[in-house]
Chains A and B, each alone.
Chain A
Amino acid sequence: MKLGIGARITAVFGLGALVLSIFMGGLSYFTTRHFLLAGRESAAQHQAFANAVLVRSNLLGGDTGYVTLLASIDAGDAGTDAHSVLYHGGKSYVSSLGVNASSIPVRLRREVLAGTAATQTYRTAQGTAEIVVGVPVPSVQAAYFEVFNLSDLDHTLRILGLTLFVAGIFTTLLGVGLGRFASERSLRPLADVSRAAGAIASGELDTRLDPDAADPDLLGLTNSFNAMVDQLQERIEREARFNSDVSHELRSPLTTLAATLEVLEAERDQLAPRSQRALLLLGADLRRFQRLVSDLLEMSRVDAGSLDVFLEEVNVSELVQRSVEAGARSLDVSGPTPAVLVEDAVRDWHVGVDKRRFERVMANLMENAAHYGGGVTEITVRPGGQEEEVEVTVDDAGPGIQSGERTKVFERFYRGSAAGRRGAGTGSGLGLALVAEHMRVMHGGVHVESSPPGGARFVLSLPVLNGHEAEGDV
C-alpha cells in the first residue's frame, strides 16, 4: 500500500518524536542512574570502612562477641538497609538472617581475603540489587564485608523509567498530532487547487484561485494554475465559437442547396433523362450530406455539453408505434413497416422523453438494422429488467454482433467486422453513438444482445413515470 503524503509527514513527525524521546529519556535515565549509584557506592564505602575500623578495634581488644558486635554495627547504621558479614579465623559471621556468606560474590571475597579492598554492585538471584563492600582487616586476619540493599534505589529508578516512558509516549503522540496538523496545513493549498480543478472539470470555467489569499510560498503555483485555466477557458470558448461558426457556415449553403434542389425536383419532368438521373443522384447525396452534418453538429453539441433537453410525459406504446412509423417513412430502404408488439403489462405506462429525440433513436436503430442486419424483424415493448423501467427491443435478421464488439458498436465511427458489408448510402458512422447519447440525456440506456434466432437485439431502457411526475407544463 502506498502512503499518502499527509500520512507520510505524520509518520515522519511521529517517528522523529519517538526517536527523540527515546534518546532524551535514555540519556536522563542512565545519567541519573549513574550519579545515584556512584553516590550510593561512595557512601557505602565510607560506612564500610568506618565499620571495619570498629571491627578492628573490637577484635584487637580481644572481644569475640561477634554477633553482638555485628548487631551493634547494624543498629548503628540505622537508616540504611545494610548487613554485615565478618570472616575471622576461617569462619564467617553474619549480622542477620538476611545475608549469609554465600551472598558475597566469590571473586570479590577472594580478592578481599587476599588483602585488597573491593566494591561490587550486583543483582541477587531474587532480583534485588545490592552493593557489597569488602574491607580486609590484616591486623587481626579478618575481612569485613557489608552488603547494602539497593531496592529503594531500584524503586526510584523504576519510577523514573516509567515516568520517562509515559513522557515518551506522550511526546510521540504529540509529534503525530503536530505532523497531522502540519501536513493538513501544508496540503491545504493543494486541496484548494484540487477543488478548483474539480469545479473547472465540471464546467465552471470561471473558477480561479485567489492570489491574495494564497500562501506567499505558493504564489507561483497559484499564478501558473490561473494562467493555465485562462488558456483552457479561452481554448474551449474558441472551440465552441468555432463549432457554432462551422454550424452556421455549413447550414447556410445547405439551406440554399436544399431549396434550389426542390425547385429542380418540382420540374424534373421537363428535364432530359440524363439530367433526371443526375438530379436523382444529387438529391440522394445532398440528403445524406445533410444527415451527416446534422449528426456531426449534434455530436459536437454533446461534447460541448450544450444540449438542452425537453422531456414530456407520453404513453410509451404510442410513442414507439409513432416513432416506428415515422422511422419507416424516413428510411431510404423501402419495405413494410415493422410490427410493434406491446406487452399488456406496459400498455398504459408513461415515460418522460423528448419525442423527436426518441424518433431519431428509433430511426437510427432501424437504419442500422436495414444496413447491417437485413432489416428489422421484430420490435417489442415490455417491462424492463429493473423495476420502474420499460424496455424497447429492436431485433434484426443479421448475423448478430459478437460479444467483444457489443460496447464498441456505440463508439463513434466504429468500423467493426461489419465494415466489409458497408454498402452505398450507409450512415454517418455516428448513428449508434448518437443513440447512446440521446438515451443518456433522457435518463435511459441502450445495449445490444443476441436475439433468439441469433441476430442482433438492441435494447432501449427508459425509466417509467409514476402518476404525474413529468416535467414541463403538461
Chain B
Amino acid sequence: MSGRILVVEDDERIRSSMRLALEGEGYEVKDAASGEEGLDLFAEAPTDVALIDLMLPGMDGFECCRALRRNSAVPIIIVTARADTHDVVAGLEAGADDYVTKPFVAKELAARIRALLRRARPAEEEPGALTFGDLQLLPEQGVLRHLNGEEVHCTRTEFRLLCELAASPNKVLSREQLLDRVWGYDYFGDGRLVDVHIRRLRTKVEADPAVPQHILTVRGMGYKLVP
C-alpha cells in the first residue's frame, strides 16, 4: 500500500528515522520541523495522512491540528509522549483521528495509517442512502447533506463512524465493535477515540448536541443511530 505522509516533528533524528521506517513500509514521506512549515507543505501539495507531534516549538501540535482541520478532512495522527493524559482527548478534540505514543513501533504506526486510509468497507455491506432528521447520508458518494442540499463537512473518520452506525439503524454497537471496524483496533483499543468522535459527530448532525436525538448513548453497552 502506498500513500503520501506529512510528518511534523521537531527532532531531526526522529524525523530521519521515521522517514526511513515509513519509506521502508512503502510510503512517500514529506517532513517538516515545525507546525508552520508543515502547514505550508500541506498547502502546496496535500498528503493522504498527517502525522503531528504534539510537542512542537512555536505553534504546538494542537494548534497545527486545528489549522489543518479548517481546510481539510485529511486523516491526522498525533504523536504524544503519554497515553494516559488529557493531551490525547485534547488532541482528538482539536481534530485528530488517532494517536500513537512515543516510542512507537513503525509497524504499528504503519498499521494505524493503513486503517485510516482504508476505503469504507466492501460495497455489498455498505448501507444504502439513509435519511435521519433533516439529514441525508449517501455512503457510496461519501456525502452527508441537509435535505435542502447543503453539504455537512465531516472528516473521513467521522463519516466512516456514521456509516457504521447507519449500517444497522437502531442496533447498539459496542465501542469495541466500532474501534475494530473504523480504526482497526483489537479489544485493547482506546474507547476515548470513539467517545470523542461521537461528540464531534453530534455537533454536526444534532440540533442540540447536549440532547442528542439520533446518535444515542446506551449506558454500559455502546452507541446506536436512531433515524
Binding site for B on A (CB under 8 A): 247-248, 251-260, 262-263, 266, 290, 301, 307-310, 312-313, 318, 322, 326, 350, 354-356, 359, 467-468, 470, 472-474
B20 touches A260 (CB 8 A): yes
A251 touches B102 (CB 8 A): yes
Question: B21 an interface residue at 8 Å Cβ cutoff?
Answer: yes
When C-beta atoms are compared, the residue in chain B nearest to A286 turns out to be B103
A312 touches B191 (CB 8 A): yes
A258 touches B190 (CB 8 A): no
When C-beta atoms are compared, the residue in chain B nearest to A298 turns out to be B84
Question: B119 an interface residue at 8 Å Cβ cutoff?
Answer: no
A256 touches B17 (CB 8 A): yes
Binding site for A on B (CB under 8 A): 11, 13-14, 16-18, 20-21, 24, 55, 81-86, 102-107, 174-175, 186-188, 190-192, 194-195, 198, 217-223
Please give, as numbers and ranges, the residues of chain B lying within 8 Å of A473 by CB-CB distance: 195, 198, 217
CB distance from B102 to the nearest CB of A (A): 4
Please give, as numbers and ranges, the residues of chain B lying within 8 Å of A359 by CB-CB distance: 188
Please give, as numbers and ranges, the residues of chain B lying within 8 Å of A258 by CB-CB distance: 103-106
Q: How far is A468 from B86 in the complex, measured between Cα atoms in Å? A: 24
20 A-B Cβ contacts within 8 A?
A: A247-B82, A248-B55, A252-B11, A258-B103, A258-B105, A258-B106, A259-B18, A260-B17, A260-B21, A263-B21, A263-B106, A313-B220, A318-B187, A326-B187, A354-B84, A359-B188, A472-B195, A474-B175, A474-B218, A474-B221
A254 touches B103 (CB 8 A): yes
Q: How far is A322 from B186 in the complex, measured between Cα atoms in Å? A: 10
Please give, as numbers and ranges, the residues of chain B lying within 8 Å of A266 by CB-CB distance: 24
Answer whether A259 and B14 are a contact pair too, CB < 8 Å, given A308-B84, A308-B85, A356-B83: yes
Please give, as numbers and ranges, the residues of chain B lying within 8 Å of A350 by CB-CB distance: 220
Please give, as numbers and ranges, the residues of chain B lying within 8 Å of A467 by CB-CB distance: 220
When C-beta atoms are compared, the residue in chain A nearest to B23 turns out to be A263
Answer whether A468 and B219 are a contact pair too, CB < 8 Å, given A258-B105, A259-B20, A322-B187: yes
B14 touches A255 (CB 8 A): yes
Please give 17 more A-B residue pairs, beta carbons under 8 A apart, in addition to A259-B106, A262-B105, A301-B84: A251-B102, A252-B11, A253-B13, A255-B103, A255-B104, A256-B13, A258-B106, A259-B17, A259-B20, A260-B17, A310-B84, A310-B192, A313-B220, A326-B188, A359-B188, A473-B217, A474-B217
Answer whether A252 and B14 are a contact pair too, CB < 8 Å, given A247-B81, A258-B104, A359-B188: yes
Answer whether A251 and B20 are a contact pair too, CB < 8 Å, given A310-B191, A350-B220, A472-B191: no
Residue of B21, B102, B219 near A254 (CB, 8 A) is B102
Please give, as numbers and ranges, the residues of chain B lying within 8 Å of A312 by CB-CB distance: 175, 191
A262 touches B24 (CB 8 A): yes
Q: How far is A79 from B191 in the complex, measured between Cα atoms in Å? A: 108
Q: How far is A253 from B220 in the complex, measured between Cα atoms in Å? A: 41
A255 touches B24 (CB 8 A): no
B20 touches A263 (CB 8 A): yes
When C-beta atoms are compared, the residue in chain B nearest to A356 turns out to be B188
Q: How far is A354 from B85 in the complex, measured between Cα atoms in Å? A: 13
Please give, as numbers and ranges, the residues of chain A lying within 8 Å of B86 by CB-CB distance: 308
A474 touches B55 (CB 8 A): no
CB distance from A256 to the nearest CB of B (A): 4
Please give, as numbers and ranges, the residues of chain A lying within 8 Å of B17 by CB-CB distance: 255-257, 259-260, 263
Q: How far is A266 from B105 in the complex, measured between Cα atoms in Å? A: 13
Q: How far is A468 from B219 in the complex, measured between Cα atoms in Å? A: 6
6 closest residue pairs by CB, A with B? A259-B17, A255-B103, A254-B103, A468-B220, A259-B21, A256-B17
Q: How far is A309 from B21 in the complex, measured between Cα atoms in Å? A: 32
Q: How far is A330 from B105 in the complex, measured between Cα atoms in Å? A: 14
Please give, as numbers and ranges, the residues of chain B lying within 8 Å of A468 by CB-CB distance: 219-220
Please give, as numbers and ranges, the residues of chain B lying within 8 Å of A259 by CB-CB distance: 14, 17-18, 20-21, 106
Q: How far is A247 from B175 in the complex, measured between Cα atoms in Å? A: 31
Select the residue from A266, A310, A350 with max chain B CB neighbours within 10 A: A310
Residue of A255, A257, A301, A474 near B220 (CB, 8 A) is A474
Q: How far is A473 from B217 in the complex, measured between Cα atoms in Å? A: 7
Select the residue from A308, A309, A474 with max chain B CB neighbours within 10 A: A474
A255 touches B190 (CB 8 A): no
When C-beta atoms are compared, the residue in chain A nearest to B55 turns out to be A248
CB distance from A222 to the nearest CB of B (A): 36
Please give, as numbers and ranges, the residues of chain B lying within 8 Å of A263 by CB-CB distance: 17, 20-21, 24, 106
Select the residue from A254, A350, A473 with max chain B CB neighbours within 10 A: A473
A251 touches B103 (CB 8 A): yes
Select the residue from B81, B187, B221 with max chain A CB neighbours within 10 A: B187
B223 touches A252 (CB 8 A): no
B188 touches A252 (CB 8 A): no
Q: How far is A464 from B54 in the complex, measured between Cα atoms in Å? A: 37
CB distance from A295 to the nearest CB of B (A): 14
Answer whether A356 and B190 are a contact pair too, CB < 8 Å, given A252-B102, A473-B217: yes
CB distance from B216 to the nearest CB of A (A): 11
A355 touches B188 (CB 8 A): yes
Please give, as numbers and ranges, the residues of chain A lying within 8 Å of B192 by CB-CB distance: 310
Please give, as numbers and ranges, the residues of chain B lying within 8 Å of A309 by CB-CB distance: 84
